[in-house]
Structure 1
């Protein structure tokens, strides 16, 4: 009698387990990463509270899904030269993603070259969030899909025109986020090294093979290396601009331009070593 009563429960449990395994086996994995374009600050810290994606048609309030993200402050200047911060990595049902939204808290700030902290006012980010539309972002079954949020510091941190030294430091800068979203299928990269490393150049990669050129930027690190990731395929002009001057008695640092650089999807184009003097 005991065996007869237990057998249906065993069969039911096995069926439930099999059904669960089948569903999970068709899941995708969604990753969200953050990287940065350079800006003239010592630190740029974002207070990111929540991340959400929209799964339905525009203006459908029921389409938002909260991602498993741990609220944190992120110094985006740590993520240049091909480095990125992993914000989310989670199992996700296959389907289309329409938008991603960042909700920012009140504790975003910058530290300027003068070493002073300046709060960033982000009224829109604190209320409705920073919404970014996604183009052709479709998760396929049993695949990993990555959204790379390319934060442009130089365009996002805006100084008030009427601010003067001695004014309230909290009123100097506004945060108006300019973020490019790169989907997983854009996996081309560009890299190289510069000498002398003390030149610390900014690097621009300008996609010239389209009507309205795209510009992507980064900076060389302390070892002279630079890398841009998530580039669309095409023909580029690469420009390097030293941000320092050569010591007395040494040849001056020069701006360098490389034209007709071919970027191929899923490949890394290496410019090798570039001499700046």
Structure 2
């Protein structure tokens, strides 16, 4: 993979950044996810110093088209995410429109642990001020839709031993990083809806994707009839938590929190939750 104007390897993170969305029907937002998975390599660990993730919203020749995504810098062992596992890096509300590129930024403290148990520095030929850009082909974020960018990192092809490495003098400088990443872009269009009683409780609803660690959370509120709906949800198993925001009148039973677990959401389908009572 060619290293371009920013060794933007922020997409590699072992801890997910949790996102919280508004009711998709009440605003004009889409939702953007960036996730990481990995093809295994012959190492014990590959810890990347992840600093930043950006997307480009304009023609690639326009330098002002880059936009930062909300992300907490952190170290991540990408070998934790192999064999179908993936890490959620970013989950954020985003304005509908086209995305042209994604850029990943890496800090200076990345390391690789060899099969000998020794921890080696992991550097890039042009330093951490250069970068990796991944171009996107016809990616459009639409209102009420979640769009996922999956970064498939190939460890075996990305980490190379230096040709002039001297094991007696510079053991820490054995490996260099030349990222090879396959980018998979897909729209996620699952949904979840239900009804809460009594509507006067004005509950807040959290849909928590419990099949992901750490969990990803989406939120909305019931309308005046007690109905709620969340669109653009990624596939997975969810736990729905409902919290009244008002108190019951003196002559009525008190409002109580409610939880419904084990709800499966799949792409292009809307899961219907049985009516929930908060009394």
TM-score (norm 2): 0.57
Question: Is the partner of 2:186 in helix, strand or coil?
Answer: coil
Q: C-alpha distance in 2, partners of 1:124/1:73?
A: 21
Q: Which has the larger radius of gyration?
A: 1
Aligned twin of 1:137: 139
Checking the alignment, whether the CA contact within 8 Å between 1:104 and 1:125 is kept in structure 2 is no
Checking the alignment, whether the CA contact within 8 Å between 2:145 and 2:187 is kept in structure 1 is no
Aligned twin of 1:167: 169
Question: Is the partner of 1:62 in helix, strand or coil?
Answer: helix
RMSD of aligned C-alpha atoms?
Answer: 2.5
Q: C-alpha distance in 1, partners of 2:188/2:157?
A: 23
Aligned twin of 1:82: 84
Aligned twin of 1:184: 186
Give the gaps of 5 or more residues in structure 1: 1-19, 188-264, 267-277
Q: C-alpha distance in 1, partners of 2:111/2:132?
A: 17
Aligned twin of 1:113: 115
Question: Is the partner of 1:68 in helix, strand or coil?
Answer: coil
Aligned twin of 1:35: 37
Q: C-alpha distance in 1, partners of 2:146/2:188?
A: 13
Checking the alignment, whether the CA contact within 8 Å between 2:56 and 2:100 is kept in structure 1 is yes
Question: Is the partner of 1:26 in helix, strand or coil?
Answer: coil
CA pair 170-122 structure 1, distance change in 2 beyond 3 A: same
Asked whether 1:49 is paired with 2:78, we answer no
Q: Deviations over 1:197-234 (max 9, x none)?
A: xxxxxxxxxxxxxxxxxxxxxxxxxxxxxxxxxxxxxx
Checking the alignment, whether the CA contact within 8 Å between 2:146 and 2:188 is kept in structure 1 is no
CA pair 165-125 structure 1, distance change in 2 beyond 3 A: closer
Checking the alignment, whether the CA contact within 8 Å between 1:103 and 1:125 is kept in structure 2 is no
Checking the alignment, whether the CA contact within 8 Å between 1:124 and 1:130 is kept in structure 2 is no
Give the gaps of 5 or more residues in structure 2: 1-21, 190-266, 269-279
Aligned twin of 2:73: 71
Larger fraction in helix? 1
CA pair 125-92 structure 1, distance change in 2 beyond 3 A: farther
Question: Is the partner of 2:79 in helix, strand or coil?
Answer: helix
Q: C-alpha distance in 2, partners of 1:95/1:144?
A: 12
Asked whether 1:148 is paired with 2:162, we answer no
Checking the alignment, whether the CA contact within 8 Å between 2:24 and 2:30 is kept in structure 1 is no
Note the C-alpha offset of 1:123: 4.7
Note the C-alpha offset of 1:128: 3.3
Which of 98, 103, 107 is 1:96 aligned to?
Answer: 98
Q: Which residues in structure 2 correspond to 1:190-201 (within 5 Å)?
A: none
Q: C-alpha distance in 1, partners of 2:136/2:103?
A: 11
Q: Deviations over 1:27-80 (max 9, x none)?
A: 100000011011000001111100000000012111000000110111000001
Note the C-alpha offset of 1:185: 4.7
Note the C-alpha offset of 1:171: 1.9
Note the C-alpha offset of 1:163: 1.7
Q: C-alpha distance in 1, partners of 2:121/2:33?
A: 29
Note the C-alpha offset of 1:129: 2.4
Bigger RCO (CA 8 Å, 6+ sep) = 2
TM-score (norm 1): 0.57
Checking the alignment, whether the CA contact within 8 Å between 1:42 and 1:113 is kept in structure 2 is yes
Question: Is the partner of 2:128 in helix, strand or coil?
Answer: helix
Asked whether 1:128 is paired with 2:130, we answer yes
> How many residues were matched structurally?
170
